[in-house]
Amino acid sequence: MEQLPGYIQEPIAPRRMEVKRLSVYLGLAVLLAAASIMAVQRDSDRSAPIARVIYPKAGSACTTPPNGYLYTNTVDGTTFNVCVSQEGNISQISFPTASSPQIAWDGYCLFDSNTNTSYTDYSPGSGVSFSGWGAATLTVAAANQVNVNRQTLDGKYQLTEFIKINFQPRSVFVGMTIKNIDPANVTHNVEVFRSVAPSIDGSTSDDEYNQFGVGVNTGVTQYGRTGQAYGGTAGNSLLFGPTQKDGAVTVSAASTFPGSPCVGTPTGPGHYGPGTPRVFVGFLGDPSTGAKLFTLAPNASVNGGKFVYRMV
């Protein structure tokens, strides 16, 4: 571009040559300008969120791309990988290497108490049938942040998930918001659950489980506040629980989930030895009912729970 005036003003070359050169260099200028615009556009696209609409199905394994999103980071020889499925399940956590899986499956359940309807989505291995959810829109907002939006197939509810992954302190945060979008403009009552089945070092055969803290007390069963799974040869430990003060965690045998897809069969706090694969279920609690019953007016939204998974 800087040389273009020189070629235009050259006094020695014949006029026809000037015109030809002018055409050639003007053409080059246009091509260079177009290339610059395309380069700027590509740079802009790199920082823009990426949205993908996903067809209705159960939570899938993470095989990025195109199924879900894989976060990976290695510092000082320690690797932390987190697979978020297209549907907003934490399909896998790997630590301290990329080949060290720590969970078997993960997912969520929305229960409508008025109609006794369970809307469930768990990653493979749970034995629970996928039910009630429509297409999901997954947005990669940053290298360590994923947003998921989807609605129920009956058009009553919208789920929004905010998922953030932190290498330090090797944690995954999941916030769940439920909105009443029922076109009939009626009030609904719902419960919200988040579940994770640990598999420390890729096997449940030697996993042990603890349920800590004082959570919700229904007068019959005392629930904990934090679930811990540990075992295996590497001595890894997975902690799971809601962050709110009224949060609670139950532990259930994994085999009970197909018959009770939101919570399985909860048992009390304490230590559970190896031999029976178990599931931690997190939720916001209520002293009278156990799980909190949210009342959703038309177009109202509620925070259904903020949950943290942490490897130690």
Tens of pLDDT, residues 133-179: 998 999 999 999 999 999 999 999 999 999 999 999 999 999 999 99
Q: Is the pLDDT of residue 21 over 60?
A: no
Q: Is the pLDDT of residue 75 over 90?
A: yes
Alpha helix stretches (DSSP H) within the chain: 4-9, 15-47
pLDDT of 66 = 57
Strand order in 78-84's β-sheet?
Answer: 69-75, 78-84, 90-94
Task: Work out the pLDDT band at 217, boundaries 50, 70, 90.
Answer: confident
pLDDT of 267 = 82
Residue type, 95: F
CA 237/CA 93 separation, integer angstroms: 12
Please tell me the least confidently modeled range out of 70-79, 129-138, 192-201, 216-225.
216-225
Q: Is 106:196 a contact under the CB 8 Å cutoff? A: yes
Q: Which residue has the higher pLDDT, 57 or 103?
A: 103
Nearest to 196 by CA among 126, 270, 243: 126
pLDDT of 49 = 54
CA 283/CA 264 separation, integer angstroms: 13
CA 90/CA 170 separation, integer angstroms: 14
Q: Which residue has the higher pLDDT, 35 or 62?
A: 62
Neighbours of 245 (CB within 10 A): 9
pLDDT of 213 = 76
Mean pLDDT of 226-232: 90
Q: Is the pLDDT of residue 286 over 90?
A: no
Phi, psi of 42 (to 5 degrees): -65, -40
Task: Work out the pLDDT band at 219, boundaries 50, 70, 90.
Answer: low
Query: What tokens does 229 get?
Result: 């799974």
Nearest to 146 by CA among 66, 88, 74: 88
Mean pLDDT across the chain? 82
Task: Work out the pLDDT band at 268, boundaries 50, 70, 90.
Answer: confident
Task: Work out the pLDDT band at 47, boundaries 50, 70, 90.
Answer: very low
Ramachandran sector of residue 17 (left: φ over 0; alpha: ψ -120 to 50; beta: rest): alpha
Q: Is the pLDDT of residue 197 over 70?
A: yes
Phi, psi of 139 (to 5 degrees): -120, 125
Q: How far apart are the first and last CA of the chain?
A: 58
Tens of pLDDT, residues 85-135: 989 999 999 999 998 999 999 999 999 999 999 999 998 888 888 899 998
Task: Work out the pLDDT band at 184, boundaries 50, 70, 90.
Answer: very high
pTM: 0.79
